[in-house]
């Protein structure tokens, strides 16, 4: 059916599936790769970002080739079917017995809320850049094609950051140094958007993309580090993502209001810069010595 409601319904169903997979995936990583969580989370995060970018680029080409946008979208059904088959035929593992009855209410835990807010703000830059970067580039005189290319460049560096930085952080449990780096280079990038001439736009976007990718995987890795029991660690990351993505979803609207009120993107970049500076100050709290006390389970 060629109706808007069909598209909305299918998007809701697909979005629900994506949300469920993203909620469960970190817990699976913790269970299957307990000694290689940073590497596994890096691969997971990079695949998530690369997959979205590749799908966004190839879907219009497939739709144009077959003369149907439905085919351009439906072709991606192949991948979840393959994933479902691999999951179905995977040998069953013994379920957890130690502390298997432990339950935890993360809604009443301050550290869980801190991690969730941190994750939400860490992804706010991404949501705002996806929503407003092309418009900003057009306001500087860039063509529509070049403006879209900026998103591609940002995605490339985002994937690189998501894959490389967690691996570099894997030799020690304290990941604050790399979190400082990931948040810091974003702050440098947004400072460049505010102060530097338009000729430095590509460099600034590259720095921001690398930091965003690293932040995504590192923040989830830090959440997993808080709890040794995979089932509860997975529940914590599900809470972190659930609350965090709500915060992330709100930020582009706030950015749009600021742009409308001030008539300039300067206020948007300044808002994100202040947010990142606040994250830098919060990062110091994520010391490994605080994990057991913060999440007592």
pLDDT tens string 133-167: 888 988 888 887 777 788 888 888 999 998 888 88
2: pLDDT strictly greater than 60: no
Least Cα distance to 296 among 56, 165, 164, 104 occurs for 104
Query: Could you tell me the residue range of the domain that residue 176 belongs to?
Result: 13-60+109-294
Asked if the structure places residue 56 within a domain, the reply is yes
93: pLDDT strictly greater than 70: no
Q: What angle do CA 38, 19, 24 make, to 5 degrees?
A: 45
Confidence band (pLDDT; 50, 70, 90) for 95? low
Give the count of domains, the chain.
1
Highest mean pLDDT among 9-13, 86-90, 141-145, 259-263: 259-263
106: pLDDT strictly greater than 90: no
Weakest-pLDDT range from 26-35, 153-162, 217-226, 286-295: 26-35
Q: What is the pLDDT of residue 98?
A: 52
Asked if the structure places residue 53 within a domain, the reply is yes
Asked if the structure places residue 71 within a domain, the reply is no
Q: What is the pLDDT of residue 261?
A: 94
Asked if the structure places residue 6 within a domain, the reply is no
Asked if the structure places residue 85 within a domain, the reply is no
Q: What number is the average pLDDT over the span 34-63?
A: 78
Confidence band (pLDDT; 50, 70, 90) for 17? confident
CATH number, domain at 151? 1.20.1250.20
pTM for the whole thing? 0.84
Q: What is the pLDDT of residue 173?
A: 85
Asked if the structure places residue 279 within a domain, the reply is yes
281: pLDDT strictly greater than 90: yes
Confidence band (pLDDT; 50, 70, 90) for 37? confident
What is the dihedral sign for C-alpha 186, 192, 198, 199? negative
33: pLDDT strictly greater than 90: no
Q: What number is the average pLDDT over the span 91-102?
A: 54
Instruction: Quick: pLDDT tens for 250-275.
Output: 999 999 999 999 988 999 999 999 99
Asked if the structure places residue 69 within a domain, the reply is no
The length of the chain is 297
Confidence band (pLDDT; 50, 70, 90) for 115? very high
- The upper half-sphere exposure of residue 96, i.e. CA atoms within 13 Å in the direction of its Cβ, equals 16
- Residue 234 near residue 32 (C-beta atoms within 8 A): no
Q: What is the pLDDT of residue 205?
A: 94
Asked if the structure places residue 67 within a domain, the reply is no
105: pLDDT strictly greater than 70: yes
Instruction: Quick: pLDDT tens for 180-218.
Output: 999 999 999 999 999 987 788 999 999 999 999 999 999
Q: What number is the average pLDDT over the span 93-117?
A: 74
101: pLDDT strictly greater than 60: no
């Amino acid at each position: 059916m060629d109706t808007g409601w069909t598209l909305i319904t299918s998007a809701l169903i697909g979005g629900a599936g994506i949300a469920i997979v993203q909620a469960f995936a970190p817990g699976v990583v913790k269970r299957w790769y307990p000694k290689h969580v940073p590497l596994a989370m890096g691969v997971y995060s990079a695949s998530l970002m690369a997959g979205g970018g590749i799908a966004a680029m190839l879907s219009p080409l497939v739709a144009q080739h077959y003369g149907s946008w439905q085919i351009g979208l439906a072709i991606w059904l192949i991948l979840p079917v393959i994933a479902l088959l691999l999951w179905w035929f995977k040998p069953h593992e013994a379920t957890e017995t130690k502390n298997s009855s432990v339950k935890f209410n993360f809604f009443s835990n301050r550290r869980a809320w801190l991690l969730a807010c941190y994750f939400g703000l860490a992804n706010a830059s991404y949501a705002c850049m996806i929503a407003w970067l092309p418009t900003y580039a057009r306001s500087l005189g860039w063509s529509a094609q070049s403006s879209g290319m900026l998103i591609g460049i940002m995605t490339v560096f985002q994937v690189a950051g998501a894959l490389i930085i967690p691996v570099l952080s894997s030799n020690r449990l304290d990941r604050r140094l790399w979190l400082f780096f990931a948040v810091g280079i974003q702050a440098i990038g947004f400072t460049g958007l505010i102060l530097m001439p338009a000729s430095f736009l590509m460099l600034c976007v590259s720095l921001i993309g690398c930091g965003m990718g690293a932040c995504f995987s590192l923040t989830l890795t830090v959440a997993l580090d808080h709890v040794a029991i995979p089932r509860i660690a997975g529940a914590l990351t599900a809470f972190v993502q659930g609350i965090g993505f709500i915060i992330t979803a709100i930020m582009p609207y706030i950015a749009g209001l600021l742009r409308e009120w001030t008539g300039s993107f300067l206020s948007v970049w300044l808002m994100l810069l202040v947010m990142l500076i606040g994250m830098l100050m919060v990062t110091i709290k994520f010391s490994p010595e605080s994990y057991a006390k913060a999440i007592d389970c």
